[in-house]
Amino acid sequence: MTGGLAIGLYDGSNGEYILNSGKVSTVDMTVSDSGKGVFTQNNGEVEINGTLFIARGYSGSNPGDGTYNLKDGSLKTGSVWISPGGTGTFNQSGGIHTVSSNLTIDSGTNGSGTYNMMGGILNAVNIINKGAFNLTGGAVSANIENRGTFSGSGTFNGLVTNYGTLSPGNSPGTLNIDGDYTQDSSGILNIELEGYIQGTEYDFLNITGDATLSGKLDVDLLGTFDPDMGSIFNIIHAKGEFTGAFTSWDLPTLNGGRIWQIAYDYDSDDVFLKVAPVPEPSTLLLLGSGLLGVGFLRKRFKKN
């Protein structure tokens, strides 16, 4: 075991480490501090008892640029800190990554942090995301505190607390959360629509636990899609208890006497987007100034 392994430590340095077999054991590892560093694990074992830093950005005047590619084999880390001071990227397309403490994806002082989960297995206690966590494949087990962008499709096993932006799907798709979902008042749920088929033509958030909503709903129409009058999109389902509602929204403009409605069904624990006709003037007066101000109707179905 080494005391520490550093790749791309100083300004202007450029280092690369490729592991095809065998074992690397170290206390800490830095993949880029102020230089450029790449660690590619094609197979074998890597054991880091302390912290794996990617784009640490501490030792020089440059922020650093670091990448860890996990393609196969096993990686065991005490903790992971991506981009505390530079541009750091972790690409996992296979293998098993086990983090015994926190996996922190930072926004970086002079860069950004990204974890691309494309395959394999990721097990962590907590993911603290201030950068970007992209899920397109593989299996993840962790609790995540999202203060950046969490996007993708597949299944995330754990509690999800959203203070940032959650974007289900891959333009579009389904994100399954095997646990509870809580959206804070600062959180944003981004939903994309380009057709009428759930999970393939419009985004769907499927939650096996409880769902607590607040914050903002942001809806985008892709391409030339223009939903017909009477269209209904089931964008959220929770198998557990469903509480709360969005406190703000950003919805695409609809012409031709159409408006958006958001319906919360607390019996089936679903949230629907609907395209409805603009109410008659007399109905608008009854509904009050809130509708007049935003051109929006919210229907709520409460449990008995």
Q: Rounded to whole angstroms, what are the CA distances from 205 to 25, 176, 280?
A: 40, 6, 33
Starting at the edge strand found earlier in the chain, the sheet holding 87-92 runs 14-19, 36-41, 65-70, 87-92, 113-117, 132-135, 149-152, 165-168, 188-193, 216-221, 248-250
- pTM listed for this prediction: 0.91
| Res 295: pLDDT | 37
**The two three-digit tokens of residue 36, written as one number:** 């450029």
Q: For 224-257, how does the pLDDT look when each residue is reduced to its tens digit (9 = 90+)?
A: 999 999 999 999 999 999 999 999 999 999 999 9
Q: What is the pLDDT along the chain (304 residues), one digit of tens a residue?
A: 667 899 998 888 999 999 999 999 999 999 999 899 999 999 999 999 999 999 998 766 778 899 999 999 999 999 999 998 899 999 999 999 999 999 999 987 677 999 999 999 999 999 999 999 999 999 999 999 999 999 999 999 999 999 999 999 978 999 999 999 999 999 999 999 999 999 999 999 999 999 999 999 999 999 999 999 999 999 999 999 999 999 999 999 999 999 999 999 999 999 999 999 988 765 544 444 333 333 344 444 433 3
Task: Give the whole-angstrom CA distance, residue 271 versus residue 237.
Answer: 7
